Amino acid sequence: MGQRKRVLPIFMYGVSHRTAPVELRERLSIPVAGLQAALRSLRRRIPAAECVILSTCNRVEVYLACARPPDPRAIARFLCGGRPGISAKIEKSLSHHAGAAAARHLFRVAAGLESMVLGESQIAGQVREAWRAALRARCAGPVLGPVFEGAIRASRAARRKTGIGAGAVSISSAAIALAEEILGSLDGRAVMIIGAGKIGELAVKHLARRGAKTVMVSNRTYTRARELAERLGGEAVRFDRVFERMRDADIVISSTGALHRVIRAARVKTVMAARGGAPLFFIDLAVPRDIDPAVRGIRNVHCRDIDDLERVRDESLARRVAEARKVEEIIEGHLARLGRGTE
């Protein structure tokens, strides 16, 4: 007689970027500091032996160990936190899984296969923190324990054995990849941003996280330059002094709304002469382009535009899609061990 397959009495209910718009998701978010109180509130509302709440910017999911399926309306009421008018919207947006399907979903989430950006690594830590919060609140135990611990192990194995997290998959990360390819280490590099657009600001923040130190911000409207400089912890530069201060930059990001070229080759030649020929990397995020294509012909000047960055991003995404198949095989192996009680 064959071994009887173990049934997992677990359920998942939640909303994510796949089921609900950001306007709804942002109203459901639970900060890490509030997880334990939310878990205790959930236990009072739902007759569950164990529970874990995973809350990120793109999903809020409730994992429960129950004798029978919980009422989705009760889950929706819990998620809306007593806020009138959105409980029905939440209920319509709820996705749910039970048993092995709930476990498989968690494993996929932890490995980054369900993320808005395929293979992003931050989610693994968020799953781990959700599990630890449930342990601290005494809301998790022998049923959800093997499932969450297995998902965390599978995620680690996926990142160790595959390239699911490799490559640049956003415009900002593509800019960093190209900057490091050209300049090497970004530690201590000086960045100048021209224009006060969101995409440029995000690129500067990414560069700062990789070690870039000095940030100079210029915009035709000086007050906007000063506001962005304050947010970035940098220095505001008046627009008529851009090329004077460009001599001190290693990376220049241009993201204005101008209808004409803002940076012309003749001015860049003057800047390079003042720099003694030290390499200068331009990132043109504007459409129409801010930077004269002729700057690419200047010695030690490197320039990339939005098409170059999108090409890098698309190539990385294609590689991650191919690696996702390997991740799925790893997940299925861990799920098989979980089903046998050997995970």
Q: Which residues are within 8 A (CB) of 186 and not within 5 positions of it... i.e. 6 or more apart?
A: 176, 179, 180, 207, 210, 211, 212
Is 57 assigned a catalytic role? yes
Catalytic member of 57, 80, 139, 303: 57
Query: Helices in the chain by DSSP H: which ranges?
Result: 22-28, 35-45, 72-80, 87-93, 100-110, 122-136, 144-161, 171-183, 198-209, 222-232, 242-246, 265-275, 306-339
DSSP string, 213-258: --EEEEESSHHHHHHHHHHHT-EEEEGGGHHHHHTT-SEEEE----
d(CA 118, CA 133): 26
Residue 43 near residue 52, CB atoms below 8 Å: no
Spatial CA neighbour of 102 closest among 210, 194, 168, 13: 13
d(CA 6, CA 4): 6
Residue 294 near residue 265, CB atoms below 8 Å: yes
Structure tokens, 148: 């969450």
Structure tokens, 143: 């049923």
- Residue identified by tokens 């800019």 is 175
The whole-angstrom distance between residue 60's C-alpha and the CA centroid of its chain comes to: 15
Sheet with strand 95-98: strands edge to edge: 50-55, 59-65, 10-16, 95-98
- The SS3 of residue 177 is helix
Q: What is the DSSP code (8-state) at residue 108?
A: H
For residue 162, what are the CA distances in angstroms to 111, 173, 326?
A: 11, 20, 7
Positions annotated as catalytic residues are 57
